[in-house]
Amino acid sequence: MTAIGEKTVSNKSESTAEVVGVSPKRGIERRGQIITGLCVTLVVVLVVTLIFMVCSRGLATFTKDGIPLGSFFGGTTWNPHQNGADGVPLVGALPMIVGSFSVTLLSCLIALPFALGASIFVVEIAPGFGSKIFRPLTEVLVGIPSVVFGLVGLGIIVPWMRGLVGGTGYGILSASIVLAFMILPTITSLSTDALAAVPNSYRDGSYGLGCTRWQTIVGVVLPSALPGILTAIIMGMSRAFGEALAVQMVIGNAAQMPQGLFTPASTLTSVLTMGMGNEAMGTLPNDVLWALAMVLLIMSLVFILIVHLIGRKGAAKND
Amino acid sequence: MTDTTKLTSSTVQNPVLHTHDVTVDYSGKRALNETSLSFESGTVTALIGPSGCGKSTFLRCINLMNREIPGCVVGGKIVYHDINVNTKGIDTLWLRKRVGMVFQQPNPFRKSIYENVAFALKSHGMTKKEELDERVEKSLRAAALWDEVKDKLRDSAYALSGGQQQRLCIARTLALQPDVVLMDEPCSALDPIATFAIEETISSIARNGICVVIVTHNMEQATRVSNKTAFFYLGHMVEFGDTAQIFGAPKDQRLNDYLNGRFG
Ligand SMILES: Nc1ncnc2c1ncn2[C@@H]1O[C@H](COP(=O)(O)OP(=O)(O)OP(=O)(O)O)[C@@H](O)[C@H]1O
Ligand SMILES: [Mg+2]
């Protein structure tokens, strides 16, 4: 109480000092502004340079090396060191693009029911357990490094797949399961927040009309939390899309069009981590890797854009 | 108009609902002492009293909304059409369909205007579109909202003004054809014009034979809309009587002080 009082008093004296132009704090304030301003500039410069660098290198594939867009995005054979029958290097990225999208969508499909179920349970059914035990737990899980998930996948899921359907055990499904584990905490914790943000007055309104708890959850709470849940899904997807290490450990890394869920495949990220160290700068095989990175970057930006669009729509609806 | 309703209510005695020694404890702390009141069809009863005296607590007993609050224990009898509903086995869903509730803050669902009214109907098993359409229109008319929204039933309920939202909440309650409607300060978030519209709505639903119980901090509102008034003070129901008598000739000293603005 007194602290607040004192603060107002000192503020008052400050402003009077400013009027007469002898504020001793002015220098500090200026310096603070400059330092924070520099930090902002640094971040902005970093982001812009990063995007510029990836894009300029990536575009070199099409400008300098003269690869047609169609054979990059539409080609199905990936072997940058060889030329195809038409004389164009074999740099078809479609297998990796398909691979990336399949593991992303599939892992979300696997994780979503569990994530939603868990968040409904902790918000609507056992709030005490939710806030005391479950939330801290998911926060810990979010922070687990992806290599740990990869190891678990390698040690458990791949052998399990091998036993179940034969083959090597490596493939899109194994990668999707590993990714699902990895993004489960992210989606769960974000959708828990979304459900918890639904005002209690909505629930009261529904109970007051004699609706059951289940009708209230399905008919009132979930629709109200939909923008937040969508955001949670997109965040999970963008994490799955960008994950390299864990995927690379279990997907089998065969740069070929995915034949099914159980055969080795590859993703944009896995090809990048496997190949980047081995190619000389400025050569075509190096340039096409940059082009893959550009596709990754653009997709991440698209994910972020979608999140913002959902946020804005949700906010507009709230008014 | 109000005079005639007052006359009928004092001559025809048919309680839909009465409470007998109802008490409420929140986690062992007494919030409401033995309260016995009776409510008749077609009358409006106002619950008044200073903040924290237990008006909302009492109101939420009647449709068993207090059961949603952990640690809340309700004692005594709440008799609705000769059935004591304050028992373990009672079907709260059935009761809340019959005893509707309107809250202090307008709380429409994040749905269209139409769906706001139809949601509970669907939850209770009404599926035919014609039936739903008809009931939605009837309820919106009863809540004096139909003319304002009939061309935009598919718009979000959030596009309505606060007063319209509150009437929408009344409409969605009326859609279940309750015979008791509980209102907890339904106008406290509204401006005078919206308040006037809600008061009109209250009078008209009472004329249709519904028993209305309304909590209000607005003394003029109590005199305008209610036939009976109950005064609560520090967890006790202190005085209950015809609204004219409560405001014109209060018997209890505390009520007298309250009306003269000496506390609360
Ligand atoms: N959920 C709850 N848990 C614990 N105590 C509660 C709860 N709700 C109300 N109370 C207590 O019960 C008493 C009566 O509260 P109530 O909300 O019924 O008052 P009120 O008359 O409606 O007041 P107001 O006019 O401010 O709405 C208060 O002392 C309050 O602190
Ligand atoms: Mg209250």
Alpha-carbon torsion (B51, B54, B55, B57), positive or negative: positive
Same domain, A109 and A146: yes
Question: Do B97 and A209 form a contact (C-beta atoms < 8 A)?
Answer: yes
Same domain, A156 and A261: yes
Torsion of CA A48, A52, A58, A59, to 10 degrees: 140
Same domain, A146 and A35: no
Rounded CA separation A277/B181 (Å):
73
> What residues are paired with B212 via a beta bridge?
B44, B181
Secondary structure, 3-state, A104-164: HHHHHHHHHHHHHHHHHHHHHHCHHHHHHHHHHHHHHHHCCCHHHHHHHHHHHHHHHHHHH
Q: Is residue A34 part of a domain?
A: yes
Rounded CA separation B247/B230 (Å):
11
Can you give the residue range of the structural domain that contains A50? 16-64
pLDDT tier at B8, thresholds 50, 70, 90: very low
Q: Is residue A11 part of a domain?
A: no
Rounded CA separation A92/B214 (Å):
72
Q: Is residue A9 part of a domain?
A: no
Cβ neighbours for B85, distance < 8 A, ≥ 6 positions apart: B64, B78, B79, B95
pLDDT tier at B1, thresholds 50, 70, 90: very low
Task: State which amino acid sits at residue A51.
Answer: I
Same domain, A100 and A60: no
Q: Tens of pLDDT along A126-145?
A: 888 888 888 888 888 888 99
Q: What is the mean pLDDT of residues A263-284?
A: 87
Please tell me which of the candidates A210, A317, A319 has its beta carbon nearest to residue B96: A210
Rounded CA separation B151/B156 (Å):
12
pLDDT of the residue at A6? 44
Task: Tell me if chain B has a CB within 8 Å of the CB of A205.
Answer: yes
pLDDT of the residue at B189? 82
HSE-up of B160 (CA within 13 Å, CB side)? 32
Residues of B in contact with A219 (CB under 8 A): 109, 119, 123
Q: Is residue A72 part of a domain?
A: no
Q: Tens of pLDDT along B197-254?
A: 889 999 999 999 999 999 999 999 999 999 999 999 999 999 999 999 999 999 999 9
- Please tell me which residue, A10 or B47, carries the higher pLDDT value: B47
* Residue A18 confidence (pLDDT) above 60: no
Q: Are residues A199 and B120, on separate chains, in Cβ contact within 8 Å?
A: no
Q: Are residues B176 and A209, on separate chains, in Cβ contact within 8 Å?
A: yes
Same domain, A52 and A168: no
- Taking CA atoms, A240 is separated from A104, A185, A229, B57, B255, in Å, by 5, 12, 16, 49, 66
* Residue B30 confidence (pLDDT) above 80: yes
Of all protein residues, whose CA lies closest to atom 5 belonging to ligand 1?
B26
pLDDT of the residue at B190? 83
Same domain, A45 and A183: no
| Pocket residue to mutate for ligand 1, from B22, B23, B24, B26, most atoms within 8 A of Cβ | B26
- Please tell me which residue, A243 or A16, carries the higher pLDDT value: A243
What is B76-124 written as a DSSP string? Answer: EEEEETTEE--STT--HHHHHHHEEEE-SS----SSBHHHHHHHHHHHT
Same domain, A100 and A42: no
Q: Are residues A207 and B156, on separate chains, in Cβ contact within 8 Å?
A: no
Q: Is residue A81 part of a domain?
A: no
Q: Tens of pLDDT along A232-262?
A: 999 999 999 999 899 999 998 888 888 888 8
> What residues are paired with B87 via a beta bridge?
none
Other C-beta atoms lying within 10 Å of the C-beta of residue A205: 27
Same domain, A129 and A26: no
pLDDT of the residue at A282? 82
DSSP H or E stretch at residue B228: strand B228-233
pLDDT of the residue at B210? 93
Q: Are residues B96 and A318, on separate chains, in Cβ contact within 8 Å?
A: no
Q: Tens of pLDDT along B133-189?
A: 999 999 999 888 999 999 999 999 999 998 899 999 999 999 999 999 999 999 988
Q: At A205, which CATH number?
A: 1.10.3720.10
Q: Is residue A1 part of a domain?
A: no
Q: Tens of pLDDT along A20-48?
A: 555 667 788 888 899 999 999 999 999 99
Q: Is residue A2 part of a domain?
A: no
Q: Report the domain count for chain A.
A: 2
Q: What is the mean pLDDT of residues A264-280?
A: 88
A261 C-alpha vs ligand 2 centroid, how far in Å? Answer: 59
Torsion of CA A187, A192, A118, A214, to 10 degrees: -130
What is A165-231 written as a DSSP string? Answer: H-S-S-SHHHHHHHHHHHHHHHHHHHHHHHHHTS-HHHHHHHHHTT--HHHHIIIIIHHHHHHHHHH
Q: Which residue of A has its CA nearest to B64?
A: A208
Q: Which residue of A has its CA nearest to B93?
A: A210
* Residue A192 confidence (pLDDT) above 80: yes
Same domain, A101 and A26: no
Same domain, A27 and A95: no
Q: Is residue A32 part of a domain?
A: yes
Q: Is B233 helix (H, G, I), strand (E, B) or coil?
A: strand
pLDDT of the residue at A24? 65
In a mutational test of the B interface, the residue from A209, A317, A319 whose CB has the highest number of chain B CBs within 10 Å is A209
**What's this model's pTM, rounded to 2 decimal places?**
0.81
Q: Tens of pLDDT along B175-188?
A: 999 999 999 999 98
Q: Which residue of A has its CA nearest to B176?
A: A209
* Residue A114 confidence (pLDDT) above 70: yes
Same domain, A97 and A178: yes
Which residues are near ligand 1 (CB < 6 Å)?
Answer: B 26, 31, 49, 51-57, 69
Torsion of CA A23, A28, A31, A33, to 10 degrees: -80
Same domain, A137 and A189: yes
Residues in chain B: 264
